[in-house]
Structure 1
């Protein structure tokens, strides 16, 4: 005889399942990290790509598919449940390492990144939604900090490991065998251990009390998909400010993925030292979210986001102006710290403002814009690099990032319930 588990909200009440989802998201991040150091070098050395816009086609393909899949993931998670969407994301990832290992031309790499974008959009979006479901309203910042720390910590560890493997054993196949192991583990855990969380969202929706003045419930629980898209993208000040900041944040990451390895190696660094640098940024980003996520629960969201965007702009300026391992390492730490201030806090803003009944769709819209930043970054940084060189591209993105921080300062209001009550 089977017994139905009681549905309760909160991290402590759902600790085992929440911890499992943290581990699953670490594997999601590892799948992304497998190519972070290797593909820019493959493009130059194996496929003889010289134009930066051509090289960055894999970032463009990844960004477009991940962004659109993020949008679909929220709707699919509401319609079919969270676990089926997560499982589908892992199934799509199965061919990715094999395509990268056997690619005879750059088109195979681009095709692998289309599948990788679908994988990341379905799996990462769904783990975010599931953790928000489990955590309830009180500790969203902490929940998102743990989620993003696991994902980007794994990106960093995998980037460092693949840099070592590439330096010792060559660019293929060794780095991508690690990604294949991640896919097998993620698929197995999702199939046999992950449980559905949609009932937790329904419980929170039933208990939901509109906030004072209704400012954070722009209409009501019964919004259409078009209305959710409009509020999250443009009409609701906090949601729209978060969406543009998320896009610019990932514009930065697209630049880092595509051009930082080339800049560092051209500056005289070995592949091994380049791997350390490109891992340092997501490592600080990942670990820093263990601090910044819960800090936003105590101190509020807006100040952290504004400061984080300006810190990222300063870090990019240091990358563009600097030279040598030490200065670039300092810039990577600063860039990771600024990103850590922003990343989980933006997700917490979405959770604060969106009604539980349409929150999954709002997360999907936000992540559509946020991960669209990869595609925008590929185009902007690729064109700028072809016109003015890699350092010129970094300067352009630094200016865009500073402007985004000013938009947050002007448009976003404080969304955390404790801070508003105070």
Structure 2
């Protein structure tokens, strides 16, 4: 990354955007690992069930075990990053990803496989917490939405790569071991890449390391010390000084209960809970089973799942471009409404269709519409919004609380999905998820603030008076 400081141009121009884009792309490899390690189970599960003779419940335990690790990783990563920096904690997560991939590939039993997926979850929880924060803290306000959105693009790419690996290795002996083991390659690349990146300038400013923050900021903006760089640094430093002096001395976790943080926490945590409760990850984890229940065969179900992953990947850049043009709030509200309608259509199709092939492909169509809406709206903003809302002094810790709620709800939804499917049937299950999406629409309009084009420091200043007047 030594070349970051060699380009001298306008920081808001195309050339000036290249250095920070390169940094964001490397950091977003954590998102690729997130996507691959969560998506690979959808195709691997059928072979794992055969090899280990798993029941529906034990299959759910294997699938959801990764979320236990993710909850732990998300809960701990933020506080560590507030203390020691974003970069070293992300490097540590790359080592965890690598270890988890090898353990999963070599697992001799379902119990060991479950434990290895907990290890992988530690890496996923850490990456889901810190990659958006790291990118948001290095990005200029004008392009922050699409740059943080690179994380989601890489997540979807990781899911597609997992689906492709599932399809390509379906008939290979011990195919699921190869599926898991391949994740070690991007994990190593992620670790090496993070070693070459600078630390977040905002974290450096928070720690009083102004000269280091200035040097990093100049490299990220592709220009030497100029008035624009000094102005941006002054805003960071002033915000860090003001917020640090106001921070409670009783600890970062207790600071989350303060009135100044409450509006951001309600928006960030509420978004995670409702977003996960919409059932979006059940499609990622259990897509082949959903398609099989609608009447498709095993091979067709896996192939249709690959198609869903491709739609997810192709629609994500659309959302990345839209989020800085139309804003986070409007995009999410519209997307949640479409998600609700698509799931309602899926529920009606499953109720009326039985096992007919025409109804099976209609179910696939509704899933594709749902995933397209998710990819362009919810999945783009779900990490962007909380990474922008929280005060710098406790940003990592607040993201820990936020992503812990995300992974906890993810765990509950994925663990209960098969049971819901057995109890309520496909129609009842997806009617329930459709209602949650409708509730997400209302929540967005009521509680999510618009942050498009604003500096992180300005967002913090605007939310604080809201907290004071609402107390």
Q: Contact 1:244 / 1:370 at 8 angstroms: preserved in 2? A: no
Question: What does residue 247 of structure 2 align with?
Answer: 222
Alpha-carbon distance, 1:220 to partner: 8.1
Instruction: Name the CA distance, whole Å, in 2 between partners of 1:206 and 1:405.
Output: 38
Alpha-carbon distance, 1:375 to partner: 1.0
Equivalent of 2:121 in 95, 105, 117: 117
Q: 1:11 to 1:74 in 2, by over 3 A?
A: farther
Alpha-carbon distance, 1:140 to partner: 1.8
Counting only pairs closer than 5 Å after superposition, residues 267-306 of structure 1 correspond to structure 2 as 267-306=294-333
TM-score, with length taken from structure 1: 0.83
Q: 1:184 to 1:296 in 2, by over 3 A?
A: closer
Larger Rg: 2
Equivalent of 1:388 in 409, 417, 424: 424
Equivalent of 1:160 in 161, 164, 168: 164
Instruction: Name the CA distance, whole Å, in 1 between partners of 2:167 and 2:258.
Output: 42
Q: 1:392 to 1:358 in 2, by over 3 A?
A: same
| Secondary structure in 2 matching 1:103 | coil
Equivalent of 2:177 in 173, 177, 190: 173
Q: Contact 1:284 / 1:333 at 8 angstroms: preserved in 2? A: yes
Q: Contact 1:301 / 1:345 at 8 angstroms: preserved in 2? A: yes
Q: 1:393 to 1:43 in 2, by over 3 A?
A: farther
Alpha-carbon distance, 1:291 to partner: 2.3
Gaps of 5+ in 2: 206-212, 214-231, 463-471
Question: What does residue 47 of structure 1 align with?
Answer: 52
Equivalent of 1:360 in 350, 374, 396: 396
Alpha-carbon distance, 1:77 to partner: 1.3
Deviations 1:268-299 (A, max 9, x none): 43444322333334433343232223322222
Q: 1:174 to 1:372 in 2, by over 3 A?
A: same
Alpha-carbon distance, 1:332 to partner: 2.9
Instruction: Name the CA distance, whole Å, in 1 between partners of 2:395 and 2:31.
Output: 20
Q: Contact 2:291 / 2:364 at 8 angstroms: preserved in 1? A: no
Q: 1:170 to 1:147 in 2, by over 3 A?
A: same
Question: What does residue 192 of structure 2 align with?
Answer: 188
Count of residues paired in the alignment: 410
Question: What does residue 263 of structure 1 align with?
Answer: 290
TM-score, with length taken from structure 2: 0.75
Q: Aligned Cα RMSD in Å? A: 3.6
Q: 1:15 to 1:296 in 2, by over 3 A?
A: closer
Instruction: Name the CA distance, whole Å, in 2 between partners of 1:167 and 1:35.
Output: 16
2:272 is aligned with 1:246:
yes
Question: What does residue 25 of structure 2 align with?
Answer: 19
Instruction: Name the CA distance, whole Å, in 1 between partners of 2:103 and 2:193.
Output: 23
Q: 1:19 to 1:258 in 2, by over 3 A?
A: closer
Gaps of 5+ in 1: 212-216
Q: 1:402 to 1:49 in 2, by over 3 A?
A: farther
Instruction: Name the CA distance, whole Å, in 1 between partners of 2:428 and 2:204.
Output: 46
Instruction: Name the CA distance, whole Å, in 2 between partners of 1:319 and 1:170.
Output: 34
